[in-house]
Amino acid sequence: MTDLWRLSAAELAALIKSKQVSAKEAAAAALARLDAVNPEINAVIDHRPEDVLKQAGDVDARIARGEEVGALAGVPVTVKVNIDQEGFATTNGVKLQRDAIANSNSPVVDNLRKAGAVILGRTNCPAFSYRWFTTNLIHGDTKNPRDASLTPGGSSGGAGAAVAAGIGHIAHGTDIAGSIRYPAYACGVHGLRPTMGRIAAFNAALPERTIGPQISAVSGPLARTIQDIRISLAAMAQKDVRDPWWVPAPLEGPPMPKRAALCLTPDGLATVAEVKAALVDAGKRLERAGWTVEEIADMPPMREAAEWQTKLWLGDGYEAQLAAAEREGDPGALACLRGNRAKVVPFDAPDYSKALTRRATLTREWLQFFEKYAVLLIPVSAELPFADNLDLKDEASFARVWRAQLTEIAIPFMGLPGLTVSTGLVGRAPVGVQVVSGRYREDLCIAAGEAIEAGGVPPMPIDPVS
């Protein structure tokens, strides 16, 4: 039989449910793969093998009793170190939080366990989850398994690296400005930022979030197949009353004509030729699958949305964030905050009011846009994955990084879903596209994603390449 860690989550769950493979065998294979490759990439920064095997044993016992175990029966998955898992520190890549030991699980962890998943380990992120690179002073650097000279992305860089290298079949990530979509892009896997309110969030180990993160930060899955994105979304999206923003929206919306808009340079984005080629190719894949694809130049604003999102993300409590980063002493966190100070300070009550007012207006315009098109096809980033830690090189490089991430920053301001679909390689650098749709229409993103995926994706999982 093929190495169990190579299988998709859907394939593995079917084998476990039918008792052809035990959950303990799958867990043992996942732990062996982790031991084999994690020392090279540092994707998982905390795991407890005895607990992993116990979780798997519990799944096997439920199956033996004839109980329903869920769509992710026995599937090893990873979770990001910025959400609560009982008995583990919710560090968010920060030394200051090394003692923030969770006494309960976040809704995501509880929902994954209810679906039968086995939590394999906790994945790395940059300090405070600020960057599109994954380094910190408590857990160290995460490397991209496809090319160690490239960023694995951030802030869910450990998640992207883990799933690309076969450490777990699905990875949990979070996204406030591209932190699921960019690691998926950089590591050559798929990643879904769901609609705000789709997946419940709460960390009892940490203070309540400010309003900006409350209305724009989300959890979501990274995986090697679009089918695994589909089933993990369903598992993660179950009800949890601890999140007042959670919405009981159906996972399948009303049918829409297969009509896609394609934009190569949204709001004047300086998209490089390789990314444009990937988008054109993805459009052709959709057409072969029966979609109508219309290339457009005009759409509702993205640049303004990105500017407001940056203010909500970093300007809300800026001085407190900067003070924490200074206590931590993390160079990447300090670069992020200091480099954006002029964009986000001051952010007073009138600015706050204007941000929320513009959010309503821009969201309305985007929802009207998605009455005409089922999905929008745009770049994930204007460039191929960056050289690792490019944002720390100099001021020009810092500005270059932020310019390239326009679409990733903009989409969360409206609370829209966005799916990264990995489509190929340019040398050793992954490339892919972003599929966006209206609120709670992840099903349309996934349908388009499946058609694009059918045209070819990079090989995965892979052995790390130095």
Residues marked as catalytic: 80, 155, 179
CA 56 to chain centre: 25
- Count the helix, strand and coil residues of the chain and give each as a percent rounded to the nearest 5: 45, 15, 40
| Strand-pair category, 218-223 with 170-175 | antiparallel
8 Å CB contact between 258 and 290: yes
DSSP notation for 150-212: B---SSSHHHHHHHHTTSSSEEEEEESSSTTHHHHHHHTSEEEEPPTTSS----TTSPPPPHH
Q: Which amino acid is at 346?
A: P
DSSP notation for 276-309: HHHHHHHHHHHHHTT-EEEE-S--S-SHHHHHHH
Sequence length of the chain is: 466
**CA gap 160, 173 in Å, rounded:** 8
Distances (CA, A) of 117 to 83, 234, 269: 16, 13, 40
Q: Which residues contact 323 (CB under 8 A, 6 or more apart)?
A: none
Q: What is the H or E stretch that residue 10 is in?
A: helix 9-17
**CA gap 309, 407 in Å, rounded:** 11
48 DSSP 8-state letter: -
40 DSSP 8-state letter: H
Question: Among 176, 205, 208, which residue's Cα sits nearest to residue 97?
Answer: 205
Classified as helix, coil or strand, 401 is: helix
